[in-house]
Each structure stands twice: as structure tokens, then as C-alpha cells.
């Protein structure tokens, strides 16, 4: 029996053909990478950190998979991918290490079993999540799964769903305990029956990542028939009101913050009325089984069976569900195929589900079949039955494959889990705490919602970078007033296992029977834990413990070189601020001496501070000075009047001891320039110098000197001819004569045409630099 949970768009096959021809044009070099990226990402195809390797993210609405779908995913993983599949915290299934030319065929195979990667990434309606215990949990009001399917079926075919200001995440929970995290999605529904009628509490504007916040309750109760209209109305409002210019402030939560709740609700009701007149039908999901779960407890506690497997008692008598524990969400294609077959044989709902904790669950198994099923599960390569400490961890891919990652989150999770496994901490204690780890401030590892949350960062100690993690505690998502975790401290990555061991032992020592770590946290208070974390915050010197300067899973010294932009900027920002503060301190203490050596101590961090944004991370002073000149003075970001100071610095390094004597004022001014430039840095690591230069002019304390040429920046990656030239022209029109504009262009036609066109219009092209990553940076001086 094949169950069709939801219909995919009728034109999907055609869309895959279109995509196929785009892949061809990209491969032949006809389509620039930037343009192609805009085509593939909304279709769920991401480039991995390794060049030429791609990942396909398949949406699994509500986490439901049929055995056929599972087998097809396994086949695709074996035929085109790394023979491994990965379950994400949004219940998607990812196929890694695929070649770009295989992606259209992968999409066709997915389509043949009713699956798609469309909306797997980009500014789209992302996978609609649902509680994995929907339909079986004693605490639920009713089964929310069909609603996740209905919303998917309605939203995915809409053209506008693939071109939103930013991503749009929707989730359904069956009760207020909110296992599907409806309260931290852009739109979340929590089931609630009223007078025997099915309905939902509606939350909106929640989200993790930078600027995370829980959603607001925007509707106290709506009948279940309104669900699709509300999802569509929010989509339209987001489409109209979301900030398309500033990606960092694009999510729905910022629309909320700008408008305020009353105005947003008014607008929402207006759109819903529009939808009613447009004739968008009631959501036609029938809810046969409404329950009054008052007092019932959550399904989550696992029970041991005689046959060695652990199961969950379903609310349907005689039926059980089997959670399958995948280490950090990974499973071999072969095991995934076997699980699909097992589910066909044993699950009365004919299939299985993916879960937010990156695991799988086979449900509706007759209790009498447990022994037979257990013996089949023993045939898997991976032990999915017995939870190890690693089961308590969720970790994103981190810097291993993600282009945004700072730290190797999975390696950190493994190191911590090993330490916990070796310790005497009891399984009951381990099962009562969960640790979510993200490799950077983006919350793919959902670090805000676990009882212990960690995200990767970088800190500088004695001139070297140290991989470290921020520790967050105190999250509570199972209550109507959801609360995200708060920052409790920061530790070097190497100290993580010992920290977690300390936290677990502290918990074990005072734990009340059946207590979760989150309750324990509330009982003890933040200060108690801050003190524990503080004990692990120290970084020993490089000579003493070089391992502290290397991330888990890496033999090389930690570096941010080659890191892309993105919200990981947050980690980079702190390192820059650190350097600027260091330069100020050094300058302050050097003022009295004016010795060259002291001056250099101040100049070096000033020159180094911003180099991280240009992918340069060096310990070598000569390299730092040279790179600063190349990336900041040559490009006009820092006025060329500082060339003298820089050549003095070079002289100093070459042995001219007096080179920097009495240069404190110039160093101070350079530092002020660097700091001003830092103030214009956006999260994509671009500078916006033009605006800041204007504001500097009015500063009364600015030293009297020739006005530096302002520098504006324009990122035209992925913009084709002639639109790139149009944009450059428009930008130049807004600038003063002799001002400089730095422009990043794609390789090929753009860099061949744009500088030539600028020259023919009488502008001066000062500089053309190959960034060796498929892009060029040109600098233009406005002449007319």
C-alpha cells in the first residue's frame, strides 16, 4: 500500500527539467556560479565546504516517510551520495557529497515517490514540522500530522513560496508541551480542542539563530478549518512586509518588531478576509479522535523490553513505538533501507518518521511483535537500540561541511559523549539532560532550546585564535511562556568535555527523582552554574597546551581564514573588537614611552584586527603589515596617507629600530580609521564606508587633514551584464567626484565588461584584483 500524504505541485517535473538545463549551463561555464546558486538553493541544493560537493535536502513534511520513500532515499544515497543519510533538526533527510550533475536525476527519483527537495533551502517555505509523537501520545489533543501535510500541499506550489524575504518555518505540536517547538518557529500551531471542536493556539514570529526569540501568541484559539488560510495569510504578509534589503533583519520576527503586535494582527485579519473572498477553502482535514488529555503524561520515557529493545507505550492499547537512536542524525543508506523494510513489515501505519532530535521512530508496532522486530534491528550495522551518551546530543554539521561554521560541532559532541560514557554518570541522569551544539551563532543545532546549549565562537589569546563555545542554560519550551536559553559563560572547545562532566556530576549529586536538568537549573539558579563554567574558562599558553588552539577533530591550529560571511560574522566581530581593544591598551601605555617597540605593539593589533574579514589570519608580523596594506590601503578602505606609517612599520621589522618613534598620533588616527571601518562592517563582512565617512566629517574632534576619499562598496556577485554596470553607475551617481567605489564582480563576462564600460564613460578604474574564488574586486574613482 502506498499512502500519498500530500500532493506535490503538478509542474514539478517540468521545474526539474528547467533546473536540469540550468545545471548544464552552469557546468559548461555559461551560467556564473552566483546566478546558479540562486537557482539551486531554493530547490534544496547546497554547496558543501569542499568545492564541487553538494548536499540535497529533502523535505519530509511532518516527518512521515512511507517504506517506498525510505527505500528510494536509501537508493539515492547509495547511488549518488556518501552512502550516508542525515536527519536534520527540521525532520528533513539530507543526502551529502553528491555531484551537481546528478542532482536533477535525484530530484526525479524523489518525485517518483512523492518527495521533493524544493524549498529545502533559500528564502522559501521550509519543511513543515510536526511532533513525532502525533497520533500516539497520551498527552496530545489530536493528531496534528495531516495539518502539516495540508499546509505543505497548499503552500509549496505557490510561486511566491520560493521567493520570500527570508525563510518561513512552520511547525505543529499536538499539545502545550510543544515537542515540535511551535513556539520558536515563524509560525507555530499548538493543538487545542474547544467545546469538542479541534483547533489551535497560534504563535508567530519565533525563531532561533541570531536575534532568537520565542513567538508571540497571535491567536488564542482558531478552529482547525482556518489553518491553511492562516499559513497563507502570514506568508503573504511576510512577502509584503519582510525586509528584502537586509538579510539579517528579514525574518518574520523583525516584521513583528517593526509593526508591533496590534498592527500585525490587524493586517493579518485583513489578509484573512481577502483570502475568504478569494475563496480559499476551509482546511478539510477530518479529526476523528479528539481527546481530553488532562493529566496525561508525555510519551517520552522509554521502557526496556524483554527482547532488549526500548519502546514507548502508545495511547492505543497493545501498540508501541520504537525510537531508533542515530548518532548525531547519521545513518548508512543500507541501514536506512533495512529500517524502511522493517517498517513495512511491522508498522501498522506503514512507514516511519523522522524526529527533531535527529532520530527515527517506528510506530504502531503490535506489542506482540516486539521480539521479532528486535531481532531484525540487530541485523543493522549501527546499534540504534541502545542509547549512548551521544544520544543526548544534537549537533549541526559545523565547520566540517557548512560554509558558515566556525567550530566542528560534531567532533565536540563526540568528544563530550565519550567523556560521559567513560564516566560513572548513570544512564538515567544522561537521559534527563540534552545538549544541543551549533558550530556558529546560527542555530542549526538549536542551541537555544536544549537544557545545555553550546555554540561555536572564536576568541583571541596572546595573539592566537582559540576555538571556543558559548554556554547557554535555562531554556524552557514546554510551557506556554516559552523561554530561550541565556548566555552563562564561555569556555575553550578543549574544556567542553570536562565542563559537561562537571555539570552532569553536579546534577547527579543533587538530582530529585525523575528530575530533568531544566528543572534542576531553575532550582539552583544561574549563578550556581556560572561559577562552574568559570572554572573551565581559562586558556593555558600555547607552549603549555597547544591542543587548546586546535578544534576537536582537527590537527591544525584554529584559523578563521577562508571563512565565508554570513551570520558567523558574530564570532568574527568579537575577535576584531578584541584586537581593537588590545591596540588601544597598548597605545595608552606606549604614550609615555614613545619607543618604537611599544608603538609596534599597538600598531600590530590595529593592522591585524580587520584582516580576518579578508580571510587573512597570520601570526607573522611582516605578513600582517603587508596584508593590511594590500587589503585596506590599496583598496582605498583606509586612506593612503597611512602608507608612510605602514612603510615605517615595515622598516621597523627589517631592523630600523627608530622607525616608529613618536608615531603615537598617527597610530592613534589609524586605529580610529580601523575602528570606524569596523563600525560599518555588516554580517556578510562587507564594509559600508561611504556612510560612515560622511558622519565622521561632522566630528569636531577629527584632526585637521585632507579629507580622505570616501569608499563605498558594492557586492555584485551573481549579478549579470549589463545589470551589474547599471548598479555601479547608479552608485557612482550618488557619490562625490574622486570618491572611491570597491565593487565585487563575478569572473568572466562581468569582469571583462564592467571595467571597460566604466572607462568608456570616463571613470577611473584604479585597481582590479582577482580574489581567486570566482570573483574580482575592482576599485573605481569617480571622475564624472
Partner 1 sequence: MQLTEEQIERYSRHILLPEVGGKGQEKLLAGRVLIVGAGGLGSPAGLYLAAAGVGKIGIVDSDVVDLTNLQRQIMHETADLGVPKVNSAMTRMRAINPDIEVRVYPKKLMADNAVDIISDYDFVIDGTDNFPAKFLVADACHFADKPYSHAGILRFTGQAITVIPRKTTCYRCIFNAPPPPGAVPSCSQAGVLGVLAGVMGCIQATEAAKYLLGIGELLTDRLLVYDALSMGFRTVNVARNRKCPLCGDSPTISRLQDEERPIACDPETCDCYQNEPGN
Residues that bind partner 1 (CB under 8 A): 722-723, 725-727, 729-730, 733, 761
- Helices and strands in the chain: count of H runs, count of E runs: 23, 25
For partner 1, which is the closer residue by CB, 637 or 690? 690
What's the 3-state SS for 213-251? ECCEEEEEEEEHHHHHHHHHHHHHHHHHHCCCCCHHHCC
What DSSP state is assigned to residue 630?
Answer: I
For partner 1, which is the closer residue by CB, 368 or 733? 733
Cβ neighbours around 414 below 10 Å, total: 20
- The answer to whether 218 touches 206, Cβ cutoff 8 Å, is no
Nine-digit cell string for 491: 569556555
**Measured between alpha carbons, how far apart are the two ends of the chain, in Å?**
72
User: Least distance (Å) from partner 1 to the CB of residue 734?
Assistant: 8
Nearest by Cα to 67 from 345, 368, 373, 365 = 345
Beta bridge partners of 457: 468
For partner 1, which is the closer residue by CB, 13 or 726? 726
Nearest by Cα to 692 from 638, 764, 612, 645 = 638
> Position of cell 520513500?
69
User: Least distance (Å) from partner 1 to the CB of residue 245?
Assistant: 9
For partner 1, which is the closer residue by CB, 597 or 730? 730
Nearest by Cα to 649 from 612, 623, 677 = 623
Distance of CA 759 to the CA centre of its chain: 41
For partner 1, which is the closer residue by CB, 578 or 749? 749
For partner 1, which is the closer residue by CB, 394 or 719? 719
User: Least distance (Å) from partner 1 to the CB of residue 722?
Assistant: 6
For partner 1, which is the closer residue by CB, 32 or 70? 32
For partner 1, which is the closer residue by CB, 131 or 719? 719
Residues whose CB is less than 8 angstroms from the CB of residue 760 and which lie 6 or more positions away in sequence, other chains included: none
* CA pair distance 567, 581, nearest whole angstrom: 22
For partner 1, which is the closer residue by CB, 308 or 722? 722
Residues whose CB is less than 8 angstroms from the CB of residue 48 and which lie 6 or more positions away in sequence, other chains included: 54, 55, 96, 97, 401, 402, 403
- The answer to whether 21 touches 101, Cβ cutoff 8 Å, is no
User: Least distance (Å) from partner 1 to the CB of residue 695?
Assistant: 19
User: Least distance (Å) from partner 1 to the CB of residue 761?
Assistant: 6
User: Least distance (Å) from partner 1 to the CB of residue 726?
Assistant: 5
Determine phi and psi for 270, rounding to 5 degrees: -60, -45
Nearest by Cα to 728 from 743, 750, 739 = 743
For partner 1, which is the closer residue by CB, 570 or 721? 721
* CA pair distance 768, 303, nearest whole angstrom: 66
For partner 1, which is the closer residue by CB, 544 or 733? 733
Strand duo 93-98 + 54-58: pairing: antiparallel
User: Least distance (Å) from partner 1 to the CB of residue 717?
Assistant: 16
Residues in the chain: 784
User: Least distance (Å) from partner 1 to the CB of residue 244?
Assistant: 8
For partner 1, which is the closer residue by CB, 495 or 716? 716
> Position of cell 540504534?
384
Distances (CA, A) of 371 to 300, 310, 311, 553, 640: 21, 11, 12, 39, 77
For partner 1, which is the closer residue by CB, 478 or 746? 746
- The answer to whether 130 touches 90, Cβ cutoff 8 Å, is no
Nine-digit cell string for 259: 509593526
User: Least distance (Å) from partner 1 to the CB of residue 694?
Assistant: 17
For partner 1, which is the closer residue by CB, 42 or 639? 42
For partner 1, which is the closer residue by CB, 383 or 761? 761
Nearest by Cα to 747 from 726, 729, 774 = 774
User: Least distance (Å) from partner 1 to the CB of residue 164?
Assistant: 15
**Largest CA-CA distance found in the chain, in angstroms, rounded:** 87
Cβ neighbours around 376 below 10 Å, total: 15
For partner 1, which is the closer residue by CB, 490 or 763? 763
Distance of CA 669 to the CA centre of its chain: 37
User: Least distance (Å) from partner 1 to the CB of residue 40?
Assistant: 22
Element (H, E) at 201: strand 199-204
- The answer to whether 359 touches 85, Cβ cutoff 8 Å, is no
Distances (CA, A) of 693 to 280, 612, 644, 666: 52, 22, 21, 18
For partner 1, which is the closer residue by CB, 159 or 513? 159
Residues whose CB is less than 8 angstroms from the CB of residue 353 and which lie 6 or more positions away in sequence, other chains included: 62, 63, 64, 65, 91, 132, 360, 361, 363
Amino acid at each position: 500500500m502506498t499512502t500519498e500524504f500530500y500532493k506535490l505541485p503538478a509542474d514539478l517535473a517540468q521545474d526539474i527539467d528547467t533546473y536540469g538545463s540550468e545545471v548544464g549551463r552552469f557546468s559548461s561555464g555559461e551560467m556564473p556560479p552566483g546566478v546558479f546558486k540562486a537557482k539551486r538553493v531554493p530547490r534544496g541544493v547546497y554547496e558543501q565546504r569542499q568545492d564541487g560537493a553538494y548536499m540535497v535536502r529533502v523535505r519530509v513534511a511532518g516527518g512521515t516517510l512511507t517504506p517506498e520513500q525510505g527505500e528510494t532515499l536509501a537508493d539515492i544515497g547509495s547511488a549518488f551520495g556518501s552512502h550516508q543519510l542525515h536527519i536534520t533538526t527540521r525532520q528533513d533527510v539530507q543526502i551529502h557529497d553528491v555531484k551537481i550533475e546528478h542532482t536533477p536525476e535525484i530530484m526525479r527519483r524523489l518525485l517518483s515517490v512523492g518527495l521533493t527537495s524544493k524549498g529545502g533551502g533559500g528564502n522559501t517555505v521550509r519543511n513543515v514540522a510536526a511532533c513525532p509523537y502525533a497520533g500516539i501520545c497520551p498527552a496530545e489533543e489530536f493528531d496534528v500530522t495531516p495539518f502539516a501535510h495540508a499546509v505543505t500541499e497548499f503552500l509549496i506550489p505557490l510561486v511566491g513560496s520560493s521567493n520570500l524575504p527570508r525563510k518561513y518555518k512552520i511547525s505543529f505540536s499536538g499539545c502545550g508541551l510543544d515537542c515540535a517547538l511551535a513556539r520558536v518557529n515563524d509560525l507555530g500551531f499548538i493543538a487545542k480542542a474547544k467545546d469538542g471542536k479541534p483547533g489551535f493556539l497560534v504563535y508567530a514570529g519565533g525563531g532561533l539563530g541570531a536575534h532568537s526569540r520565542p513567538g508571540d501568541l497571535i491567536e488564542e484559539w482558531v478552529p482547525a478549518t482556518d489553518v491553511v488560510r492562516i499559513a497563507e495569510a502570514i506568508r503573504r504578509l511576510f512577502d509584503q512586509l519582510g525586509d528584502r534589503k537586509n538579510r539579517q533583519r528579514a525574518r518574520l520576527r523583525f516584521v513583528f518588531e517593526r509593526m508591533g503586535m496590534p498592527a500585525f494582527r490587524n493586517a493579518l485579519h485583513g489578509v484573512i478576509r481577502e483570502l475568504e473572498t478569494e475563496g480559499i477553502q476551509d482546511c478539510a482535514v477530518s479529526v476523528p479522535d479528539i481527546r481530553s488529555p488532562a493529566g496525561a503524561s508525555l510519551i517520552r520515557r522509554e521502557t526496556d523490553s524483554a527482547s532488549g529493545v526500548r519502546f514507548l507505550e502508545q495511547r492505543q492499547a497493545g501498540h508501541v513505538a520504537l525510537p531508533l537512536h542515530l548518532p548525531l542524525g547519521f545513518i548508512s543508506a543500507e541501514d536506512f533501507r533495512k529500517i524502511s523494510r522493517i517498517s513495512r513489515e511491522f508498522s501498522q501505519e506503514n512507514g516511519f518518521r523522522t524526529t527533531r532530535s535527529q532520530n527515527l521512530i517506528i510506530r504502531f508496532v503490535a506489542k506482540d511483535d516486539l521480539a521479532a522486530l528486535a531481532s531484525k534491528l540487530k541485523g543493522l550495522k549501527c546499534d540504534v537500540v541502545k542509547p549512548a551518551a551521544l544520544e543526548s546530543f544534537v549537533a549541526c554539521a559545523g565547520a566540517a561541511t557548512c560554509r558558515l561554521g566556525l567550530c566542528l560541532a560534531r567532533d565536540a559532541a563526540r568528544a563530550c559523549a565519550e567523556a560521559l560514557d567513560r564516566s560513572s554518570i548513570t544512564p538515567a541522569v544522561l537521559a534527563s539532560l540534552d545538549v544541543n551544539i551549533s558550530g556558529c551563532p546560527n542555530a542549526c543545532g538549536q542551541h537555544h532550546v536544549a537544557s545545555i546549549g553550546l555554540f561555536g565562537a572564536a576568541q583571541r589569546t596572546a595573539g592566537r585564535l582559540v576555538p571556543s563555545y558559548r554556554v547557554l542554560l535555562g531554556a524552557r519550551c514546554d510551557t506556554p511562556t516559552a523561554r530561550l536559553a541565556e548566555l552563562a559563560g564561555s569556555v575553550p572547545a578543549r574544556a567542553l568535555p570536562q565542563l559537561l562532566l562537571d555539570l552532569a556530576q553536579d546534577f547527579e549529586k543533587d538530582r530529585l527523582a525523575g528530575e530533568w536538568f531544566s528543572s534542576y537549573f531553575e532550582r539552583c539558579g544561574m549563578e550556581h552554574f556560572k561559577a562552574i563554567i568559570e572554572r573551565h574558562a581559562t586558556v593555558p599558553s600555547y607552549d603549555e597546551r597547544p591542543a587548546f588552539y586546535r578544534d576537536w577533530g582537527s590537527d591544525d591550529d584554529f584559523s578563521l581564514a577562508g571563512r565565508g560571511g554570513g551570520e558567523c560574522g558574530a564570532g568574527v566581530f568579537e575577535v576584531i573588537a578584541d584586537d581593537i581593544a588590545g591596540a588601544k591598551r597598548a597605545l595608552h601605555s606606549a604614550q609615555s614611552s614613545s619607543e618604537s617597540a611599544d608603538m609596534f605593539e599597538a600598531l600590530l593589533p590595529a593592522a591585524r584586527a580587520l584582516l580576518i574579514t579578508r580571510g587573512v589570519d597570520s601570526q607573522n608580523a611582516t605578513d600582517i603589515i603587508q596584508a593590511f596594506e594590500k587589503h585596506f590601503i590599496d583598496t582605498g578602505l583606509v586612506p593612503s596617507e597611512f602608507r608612510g606609517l605602514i612603510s615605517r612599520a615595515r622598516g621597523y621589522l627589517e631592523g630600523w629600530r627608530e622607525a616608529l618613534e613618536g608615531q603615537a598620533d598617527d597610530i592613534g588616527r589609524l586605529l580610529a580609521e580601523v575602528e570606524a571601518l569596523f563600525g560599518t562592517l555588516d554580517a556578510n563582512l562587507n564594509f559600508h564606508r561611504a556612510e560612515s565617512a560622511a558622519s565622521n566629517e561632522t566630528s569636531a574632534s577629527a584632526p585637521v587633514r585632507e579629507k580622505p576619499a570616501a569608499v563605498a562598496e558594492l557586492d555584485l556577485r551573481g549579478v549579470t551584464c549589463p545589470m551589474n554596470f547599471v548598479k555601479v553607475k547608479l552608485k557612482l551617481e550618488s557619490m562625490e567626484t574622486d570618491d572611491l567605489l570597491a565593487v565585487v564582480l563575478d569572473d568572466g563576462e562581468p569582469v571583462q565588461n564592467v571595467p571597460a564600460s566604466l572607462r568608456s564613460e570616463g571613470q577611473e578604474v584604479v585597481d582590479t584584483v582577482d580574489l581567486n574564488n570566482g570573483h574580482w574586486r575592482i576599485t573605481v574613482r569617480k571622475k564624472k
